[in-house]
A and B are shown apart, each in its own frame.
Chain A
Amino acid sequence: MTSTRTFVALMVLAGIASLALFVLHLGLGTVWIPPDRVIEVLLDGLTESTDRTIIWDLRMPRAILGLLVGGMLGLSGALLQVVMRNRLAEPGLTGVSTGGILAAVLFLGGVWGLPQPGRLLPFVVLVGALAGGILVLLVSSKRGGIDPLRLILTAVIVNAILGSLTAIVMLRSNYALGNILSWLIGSLHGRVWDDVWLALPWAAVAIPAGLLAARAANVLQIDDESGRALGLPLQPARVALFGLAGVLAAGAVTVSGAIPFVGLMAPNAARAVAGADARRVLPLAAMIGCLLLLAADLVAQSFSIKPPIPSSAYRVGLPVGAVMAILGAPLLIFLIRRSTR
């Protein structure tokens, strides 16, 4: 079967590309470390050196998070597109991004009067994210079932409400606005090992589970009557897949904020090159997600801007979310034009 061979080739290709970007990513920063030196340091874990400290302590967490977050968002989007029967579905529609951000804004804005956000922030975002996902699910379910169209409509509405609340809270307190903005746009700047440990458990559980859901996802892709005739309980399956997509997106939002587009682009790109079978679309979407996010973060890291604050001595890197939207959009438009008649 050529299709299987194509798929394997695509996966290997995307894997190698991701690995190459990963090495480049570790080399990039204030001090440039050439790829061969990066590989040398990675393979020789014992010898102490400045490069080793830079790579392992400073840059590794961000690069790993690039991979994890990209993969989680890619897979989340692919699952949601199945559940919602819509190729425009993306992880943001689960309500977890807006939920997480609203929680972050409430927290950072001092509405709860906590003086030091500190390391508590990611947990607050996580709780808000999961609450947002559960809210969308509750509002859209009717007699225990979720209908794809009703789900997508209620998701848009709930998102609008949560987004408006965020705007209102932000207007009330311009305190820490910059910090909040980076959550809104999505960024991987300054991420440390603690952030990796925060995202890793979600990725470790939800990515394999999401990939294993491919068979059920395939049945959900055909019409409801045929799907039920094959013995799949549709409603529990939809709720489970939505839950997985939500958990994946929540894990990503917790460490990176709401990075747009990866979760929309990766599954559409996967479908454009590998067809409709979820057994291929799901892993490929995750892989392409890794690739895209690493690539976008490389670009984000390469360019920095000086904020228009007189006192600021630092230049800050571009947020990866913004890069993703700007660079990703043309690519996505190309893929969609190519794969549709």
Chain B
Amino acid sequence: MNDVEPIRLEQVSAGYGRRMVLEGLDLRLEQGTITAIVGPNGSGKSTVIRAMSRLLAARSGVVFLDGRDIRNFGSRDIARLVSVLPQSPSSPPGLTVRELVELGRFPHTGLFGRHGAEGKLAVESALTLTGLSGFAERPLDELSGGERQRAWIALALAQGASTLLLDEPTTFLDVRHQFEVLDLVASLCASGDMTVVLVLHDLLHAANYADRVVVVDSGRIVADGAPSAVLNVELMRTVFGVAAKIFTNPESGRMVCLPIGPDRS
């Protein structure tokens, strides 16, 4: 049934200057699923997202967007299909939530266009979905970290893209707000139209929320599959260098990966 493939990487290598970060990556996203990309610091997780959205051009290999070579797209065409939320986004002091979310319409209206009825609707529904309708006129810098993160997700939603790439959306949030943000992402995917990629540090979250976990190490994919198939003691030792215990959560039936200390074997 997955005849549309939102994004496919084929033998993609990418990097900065002389330093190659990704080497020959193959990865195909399934529509309507949540994919978590995990891996140690500096493994190239963020670079995968940047390559998928052409924020970083692939040095070799091809990125396919909607089945077509991403190099044939204009920047705004890409932005209509893929939303990216970077790791530490920033907005000018005083900008309100609504003003930020309206920026999401930029790829549709361009430099001189105006928001049509469709744009207004997209902004309103993004605010509603993220539970921010009551905060719309508040400046972003007066909100809590969790609310702010939701505002940035609302911007990505207002973009109207069907693929959402989130780079560590839970960093800097307390546990409750981490769940809040991830629940929001999961609810977006529930309809089956949205395809989401999450770069995550927390393997507990990856196991809890993702349909699929892709483990990246030194610019290569070292494991790829359902959380229960991928996360194991051996992987935790070789990739992350930690000893871990793996359980099954009796409540959800999902697996729990509990790192217990540095690997001393």
Contacts and interface: CB of A to CB of B under 8 A. Distances in A.
Given A219-B103, A221-B95, A271-B94, A231 B88 contact: no
A212 B110 CA distance: 11
Contacts of A225: 55, 84, 86, 89
A332 to B, nearest CB: 17
A231 B109 contact: no
Interface string A264-306: 0000000100011100000000000000000000000000000
Contact of A215 (B88, B112, B139, B152): B112
B75 A232 contact: yes
Contact of A223 (B79, B90, B95): B90
Contacts of B86: 223, 225-226, 229
A216 interface: yes
Interface residues of B, number: 39
A102 B75 CA distance: 42
Interface in B73-110: 74-80, 83-86, 88-96, 98-100, 103-104, 106-107, 109-110
A244 to B, nearest CB: 12
B78 to A, nearest CB: 6
A276 B95 contact: yes
B130 interface: no
A216 B91 contact: no
A33 B117 CA distance: 51
A223 B159 contact: no
Given A225-B55, A228-B75, A277-B96, A2 B137 contact: yes
Given A223-B86, A228-B75, 6 more contacts: A212-B111, A216-B111, A221-B91, A231-B79, A233-B75, A276-B94
11 contacts: A215-B111, A218-B99, A218-B106, A219-B103, A222-B92, A225-B55, A228-B75, A231-B77, A275-B96, A276-B99, A277-B95
Interface of B: 53, 55, 74-80, 83-86, 88-96, 98-100, 103-104, 106-107, 109-113, 137, 139, 152, 155, 159
Interface of A: 1-3, 212-213, 215-216, 218-219, 221-223, 225-226, 228-233, 271, 275-277, 339
Q: Lowest 7 A-B CB distances belong to which pairs? A: A231-B76, A231-B79, A229-B84, A276-B94, A225-B86, A231-B75, A276-B95
